[in-house]
Amino acid sequence: MTVLFISDLHLETDRPDITRAFLRFLEARAPGAEAVYILGDLFEVWIGDDAMDEMQHRVAAALRRLAGQGTQVYVMHGNRDFLIGQAFCRLAGCTLLPEGSIVRVENEAVLLMHGDSLCTLDEGYQRLRRRLRNRFSLWLLPRLPLGVRRRLARKLRNASQNQTRQKASEIVDVTPAAVRETMTAHGVGTLIHGHTHRPAIHEVALEQGRGKRIVLGDWDRQGWVLEADRRGFRLESFPLS
């Protein structure tokens, strides 16, 4: 059976072309797949399940239709939408996966991550990540007034974009040592992640032999999907229109 992996769609109302492309993907490409894994940043921003707009409701309904056809749908938090909760998952008919989940693909153990935790050279981002993702923050943020959440989301988004432009490319990419340590700790030979927007398949030298790291692409000028079946893994791009 076919399994599909995608990430970093960054769906937002200002990019209706990406939303249309994703809805077509769910209608035409995803049906018949055993599972679809969305490895973070499905949405550009998510301030809480209680603040869904019309576009987000349409996406949830489309995911639910796909799940109703027999395809299992899994969603993982990204750095933009880490407040997605169980209310959204119930609407979308999907399962929320924790970071660092191991799944079996054609009887191979595969580690799934969003990938931002692997960018260990970006110390400022990692400090911010720890502050936003600790237990207290995850409890508090959804309980703030909607207006406060919207202002905070805009501030964090603008700061992230400005800082990324100012940082060297190797700082905002994953750290090879972190990749090897993580794969070794989980005992896997294959890692799939997104976040960096640098789609590629890399060889990784592990103590137990050669492994591979597959980086999913972001949906911007084109869409990206990783297809896995008995023939192996194939990373493909396709036009949005």
Say how far apart CA 23 and CA 11 lie, in whole Å: 11
Say if residue 93's pLDDT is above 80. yes
* Residues placed in the known binding site for substrate: 79-80, 122, 160, 164, 167, 195
Asked if residues 92 and 64 have their Cβ atoms less than 8 Å apart, the reply is yes
Note the pLDDT of residue 163.
59
* Residues placed in the known binding site: 8, 10, 41, 79-80, 114, 122, 160, 164, 167, 195, 197
Cβ-Cβ contacts under 8 Å for 143 (sequence gap 6 or more): none
Place of tokens 């109703």: 68
* Cα atoms in the 13 Å half-sphere on the side-chain side of 149: 19
Prediction pTM value: 0.95
Could you report the per-residue pLDDT of 10-32, keeping only the tens digit for each? 999 999 999 999 999 999 999 99
Could you report the per-residue pLDDT of 148-175, keeping only the tens digit for each? 999 999 988 887 776 566 566 666 799 9
* Residues placed in the known binding site for Mn(2+): 8, 10, 41, 79, 114, 195, 197
Could you report the per-residue pLDDT of 99-152, keeping only the tens digit for each? 999 999 988 999 999 999 999 999 999 999 999 999 999 999 999 999 999 999
Q: Which CATH architecture has domain 3-238?
A: 4-Layer Sandwich (3.60)
